[in-house]
């Protein structure tokens, strides 16, 4: 259990196998043994390699014939595996909740359909909690089953737990050739385990089923040890067993839940595809009548009209233009989920330079400037999606500028072994922290359209495109003090092709555009 041989452990203080906290607890426990107290309690020991081993320890005082305390004896069960199973269950629950949270914004129209699944998930969690509680109670209420026997099969020792478990007394077991009943299909497992025991390999474990006197079939984990004399002959065996039926059931439950989780994820993905297809279809079908409206409005605008009528027609034309922009953005957002993403090494600096050149008229109009670093390492992403992300972030920074203040936009980057963090900083109007998550939702706007133009989809496109490239985006901002949008993207893997897309640096080395 702890990575030592018996020879290495015998004669050493027990405290050598504990950390400082364990030593303090053990000191208190030893005092309780001196008081004649028996206990079953959890305890942490330290493995030879530094790992922490979680155990369930049953301890009792040892006294001489006159009742004086002479020491203590402990039976120790390794429950590290149980701890790992509990952590795995918590991780599965957290993963399920995270997936539901990520899909909520996009699947608001399907809430009614998902309510039944959410209710089922809650029932599953409750069933898991009850199953875990039952398992913990069984483990805490029992000690390990221990017996020793000769090569001829005569039992020389059995603890109370062993005898009680099989419906016998210790006196009935000791001196007998009692062997727990094992189903025929598992008997070869025990035979193989015992046959491979020798003085050079004295310890082996086996999992098999045992039939109790009442007919109940339980799973056991048995650890067998061979004891040898000076001539290298096996003179006795020891068997230490514990009931692992609940663990086996928990493993089966985990497998079932994994299958449930996979099927739910598939249903969510299918629903997401349906929603994207619906958005794409609706947006596409709106374009034809909208073009007709705008065409007729343009024809009307060329006619001789009175002032009021001309103003109304101008409003129709402007509303049509805004609707066209909205449909284009909505189509772009829906299209993200319909096209395959093919990641490759991409240099982001040339993309920023190209976009800065495209935005030159707006920079001249506002007196703004975009400052780029001298160099940037490549990222692993889709060149088209990256161009869309960078364009939306820079246009956003130019749009939400302070009145009378020329926009200053600075691009910075930080690297880690596996990721590149791109920071787009501006000196604009800023964003209240309470809205930092909402601004990435579709159609979410903090300002009226007549104050700052836009459709409310740009940042949603940024978030979705970045996530399709296995990245993430976040914002830090304070009202009146500008905003910083940080895009985190993976760096190319070691086996990626050496060439880079969009990364052939254009001629010229200017870094700031006024």
Q: Distances from the Cα of 499 to the Cαs of 29, 344, 495, 503, in angstroms?
A: 66, 9, 12, 9
Instruction: Report the number of distinct structural domains present in the chain.
Output: 3
Domain stops at, among 225, 243, 261: 243
Residue 263 falls inside a structural domain: no
Residue 274 falls inside a structural domain: no
User: What does DSSP say about strands 408-415 and 369-371: parallel, antiparallel, or unpaired?
Assistant: parallel
Q: What is the DSSP string of 215-235?
A: S-EEEEEEEEEEEE-TTS-EE
Say whether both 348 and 458 belong to one domain.
yes
pLDDT of residue 23: 87
Range of the domain at 228: 145-243
Count the neighbouring beta carbons within 10 Å of the beta carbon of residue 304.
Answer: 6
Domain stops at, among 47, 78, 109: 78
Q: What is the pLDDT of residues 147-198, one digit of tens each?
A: 999 999 999 998 888 998 999 999 999 999 998 999 999 999 999 999 999 9
Say whether both 404 and 482 belong to one domain.
yes
Say whether both 361 and 466 belong to one domain.
yes
Domain stops at, among 29, 58, 78: 78
| Collapsed DSSP state (helix, strand, coil) of residue 432 | coil
Residue 93 falls inside a structural domain: no
The CATH number covering residue 15 comes to: 3.30.450.20
Residue 248 falls inside a structural domain: no
Say whether both 151 and 69 belong to one domain.
no
Q: Which helix (H) or strand (E) holds 106?
A: none
Distance of CA 443 to the CA centre of its chain: 29
Q: Which residue in 217, 227, 225 sits closest to 241, CA to CA?
A: 225
Q: What is the pLDDT of residues 5-51, one digit of tens each?
A: 888 888 888 888 888 888 898 889 888 888 988 988 888 889 899 88
The DSSP secondary-structure symbol of 180 reads -
Buried b (16+ CB within 10 A) or exposed e, 326-360: bbebbbbbbebbeeeeebbbbbbbbbbbebbeebe
Say whether both 471 and 380 belong to one domain.
yes
pTM: 0.41
Q: Which residue in 151, 177, 155, 147 sits closest to 234, CA to CA?
A: 151
Residues 6+ apart with CB under 8 A from 117: 264, 267
Residue 87 falls inside a structural domain: no
Gyration radius (Cα) of the chain, Å? 36
Nearest 5°: CA angle at 440, between 434 and 445?
Answer: 75
Say whether both 45 and 181 belong to one domain.
no
Say whether both 74 and 187 belong to one domain.
no
Residue 440 falls inside a structural domain: yes
Say whether both 71 and 168 belong to one domain.
no
Q: In whole angstroms, what is the distance from residue 398 CA to residue 38 CA?
A: 74
- Per-residue model confidence as pLDDT tens for the chain (514 residues): 888 888 888 888 888 888 888 889 888 988 888 898 898 888 888 989 988 888 888 899 888 888 888 888 888 888 888 888 888 888 888 888 887 777 765 666 665 666 777 788 788 888 877 775 664 444 334 468 999 999 999 999 988 889 989 999 999 999 999 989 999 999 999 999 999 999 999 999 999 999 998 889 999 999 999 999 999 999 999 999 999 999 988 988 999 999 888 888 888 777 667 666 666 666 566 666 777 777 777 777 777 778 888 777 777 776 666 666 666 666 666 666 556 677 899 999 999 998 899 888 889 988 999 999 999 999 999 888 898 889 889 988 888 888 888 999 999 999 999 999 999 999 988 888 887 877 787 655 565 555 455 556 778 888 988 998 899 999 999 888 889 999 999 999 877 665 555 543 333 333 334 3
Encoding tokens for residue 122?
């809650």
The CATH number covering residue 404 comes to: 3.30.565.10
Residue 218 falls inside a structural domain: yes
Say whether both 472 and 349 belong to one domain.
yes
Say whether both 149 and 70 belong to one domain.
no
Q: What is the pLDDT of residues 420-474, one digit of tens each?
A: 999 999 998 888 888 787 778 765 556 555 545 555 677 888 898 899 889 999 9
Say whether both 157 and 46 belong to one domain.
no
């Amino acid at each position: 259990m702890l990575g030592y041989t018996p020879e290495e452990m015998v004669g050493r203080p027990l405290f050598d196998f504990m950390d400082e906290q364990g030593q303090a607890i053990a000191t208190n426990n030893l005092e309780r043994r001196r008081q004649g107290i028996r206990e079953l309690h959890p305890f942490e020991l330290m493995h030879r390699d530094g790992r922490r081993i979680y155990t369930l320890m049953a301890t009792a005082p040892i006294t001489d014939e006159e009742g004086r305390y002479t020491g203590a004896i402990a039976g120790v069960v390794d429950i590290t595996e149980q701890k790992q199973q509990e952590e795995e269950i918590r991780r599965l629950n957290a993963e399920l909740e995270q997936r539901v949270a990520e899909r909520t914004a996009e699947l608001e129209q399907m809430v009614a359909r998902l309510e039944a699944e959410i209710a089922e998930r809650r029932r599953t969690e409750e069933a898991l909690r009850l199953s875990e509680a039952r398992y913990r109670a069984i483990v805490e209420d029992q000690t390990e089953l221990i017996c020793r026997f000769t090569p001829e099969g005569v039992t020389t020792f059995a603890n109370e737990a062993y005898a009680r478990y099989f419906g016998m007394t210790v006196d009935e077991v000791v001196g007998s050739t009692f062997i727990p009943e094992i189903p025929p299909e598992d008997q070869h497992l025990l035979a193989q385990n015992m046959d491979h025991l020798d003085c050079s390999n004295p310890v082996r474990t086996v999992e098999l089923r045992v039939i109790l006197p009442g007919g109940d079939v339980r799973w056991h984990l048995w650890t067998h040890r061979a004891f040898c004399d000076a001539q290298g002959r096996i003179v006795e065996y020891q068997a230490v067993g514990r009931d692992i039926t609940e663990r086996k059931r928990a493993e089966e439950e985990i497998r079932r839940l994994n299958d449930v989780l996979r099927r739910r994820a598939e249903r969510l993905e299918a629903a997401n595809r349906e929603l994207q297809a619906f958005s794409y279809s609706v947006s596409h079908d709106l374009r034809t009548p909208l073009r007709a409206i705008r065409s007729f409005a343009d024809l009307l605008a060329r006619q001789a009209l009175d002032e009021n009528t001309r103003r109304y027609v101008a409003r129709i034309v402007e509303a049509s233009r805004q609707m066209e922009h909205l449909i284009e953005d909505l189509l772009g957002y829906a299209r993200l989920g319909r096209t395959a993403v093919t990641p490759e090494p991409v240099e982001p600096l040339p993309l920023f330079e190209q976009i800065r050149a495209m935005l030159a008229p707006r920079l001249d109009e506002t007196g703004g400037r975009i400052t780029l670093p001298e160099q940037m390492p490549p990222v692993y992403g889709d060149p088209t999606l990256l161009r869309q992300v960078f364009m939306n972030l820079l246009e956003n920074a130019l749009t939400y500028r302070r009145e009378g203040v020329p926009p200053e936009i600075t691009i910075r980057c930080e690297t880690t072994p596996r990721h590149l963090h791109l920071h787009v900083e501006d000196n604009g109007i800023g964003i209240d922290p309470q809205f930092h998550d909402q601004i990435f939702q579709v159609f979410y706007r903090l300002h009226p359209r007549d104050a700052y133009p836009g459709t409310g989809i740009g940042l949603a496109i940024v978030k979705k495109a970045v996530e399709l490239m296995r990245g993430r985006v976040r914002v830090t901002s304070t009202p009146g003090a500008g905003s910083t949008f940080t895009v985190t993207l993976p760096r190319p893997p070691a086996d990626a092709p050496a060439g880079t897309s969009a990364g052939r640096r254009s001629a010229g080395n200017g870094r700031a555009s006024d």
